[in-house]
Amino acid sequence: MQGFTAWIMALALMVMAINTQAQSSKPDTPSVLVSIHPIAMLIKSAWPDLHVTTLMKPNQSPHDFALKPSHRRLVAQSQHVIWLGDEMEPYLTKLVAGHTSALDLSGLFELAEEANDHHDGHNHGEHDPHIWLNPNAISSILNMVQQQLSLQEPNAFLQQLAQWQLKAKTQLEGLDAGFISFHDAFHYWINYFALNQVAALALNPEQPIGTRHLVKVRQILSDGKATCLFIEPQFKASIVKKLQQGTNVPVVDIDPIGSQFNVNDGKFFAFYDYLLMQFQTCLKAK
């Protein structure tokens, strides 16, 4: 009897060892470090099983980001890194250069601008980094990620995207009132939906706003050519109150980074719906 019990125990141990080996031989779920929050949110939404982390905090603007030793460790320890290239994120260039799997999305900027027939006054020769605000570019971003990480096609997500685009164009169709943005972040979105941005308060958030430009924006508000003024949580907007004085132009909060949405929740379309709602709120203000 003892010999039989010992045999059963040995057999059980053998089965456990085989199961453990089989589990350890399974490929781990890919982990990816993304430089900015909205792109991380997009990737997590398309592939919910991916382990996705971000380099920057959700509410941090890429325009004033400073690299820390902890960021260097994150890059070094990450299986895959996805970033916007050395023109947009020069502080990552040296770190990423030595990484075994880094995906640079900057090649999409020119394609996105050509596809959107860029004409809204953004400085020529400079690419707009807000590529996630271009519905036409989403599938291209995901295709690059899929190729780099050897993932399956995110068919369910792309179907949702097509449905969302139809819905959004219907809801924004005919809303051609002028508006002012605090920061020139929405030109992809504006061109895609054929909206009417009459001015941007800060063409480049890294540079001070010139007096002449302030006077011009103030005149647009005074003349009633703007139905609202968008402001963003990432930037100090104390100047907005001065611009508003003597006018009835409402201020509408908008966050092009989607910092209130958690990456791990995978709710990119909730972020897009939020932007859609804010634009409707603005354009229907009068």
The reported pLDDT for the residue numbered 14 is 55
Residue 21 token pair: 């080996």
Phi/psi at 237 (5° precision): -120, 35
Q: Return the closest-CA partner of residue 100 out of 84, 77, 69.
A: 77
Helical (H) or strand (E) element with 80: strand 80-83
State the pairing for strand pair 196-202/178-183. parallel
Sign of the alpha-carbon dihedral angle for 117, 118, 120, 124: negative
| 198-243 per-position pLDDT tens digit | 999 887 766 778 888 888 998 999 888 999 999 888 776 677 777 7
**213 vs 221: CA distance, rounded Å:** 13
Crossing angle of helices 155-172 and 138-149, in 10° steps, is 170
- Residue 152 identity (one-letter amino acid): Q
The reported pLDDT for the residue numbered 114 is 58
Give the SS3 label for residue 103.
Answer: strand
pLDDT at residue 118 is higher than 80: no
Share of the chain above pLDDT 70, in %: 81
pTM for this prediction: 0.84
Residue 6 token pair: 């010992």
**133 vs 252: CA distance, rounded Å:** 18
**271 vs 259: CA distance, rounded Å:** 9
**130 vs 184: CA distance, rounded Å:** 10
For the chain, give the mean pLDDT. 84
**215 vs 228: CA distance, rounded Å:** 17
The reported pLDDT for the residue numbered 39 is 97
**264 vs 220: CA distance, rounded Å:** 41
Phi/psi at 260 (5° precision): -80, -5
Chain length of the chain: 286
Higher pLDDT, 61 or 257: 257
User: Could you tell me which residues come within 8 angstroms of residue 89 by beta carbon, excluding any fewer than 6 positions away?
Assistant: 35, 62, 65, 83
**124 vs 117: CA distance, rounded Å:** 12
State the pairing for strand pair 251-253/229-231. parallel
- DSSP letter at 174 equals T
For residue 151, the tally of other CB atoms under 10 A from its CB is 17
**84 vs 95: CA distance, rounded Å:** 13
Mean pLDDT of 37-60: 92
Higher pLDDT, 11 or 130: 130
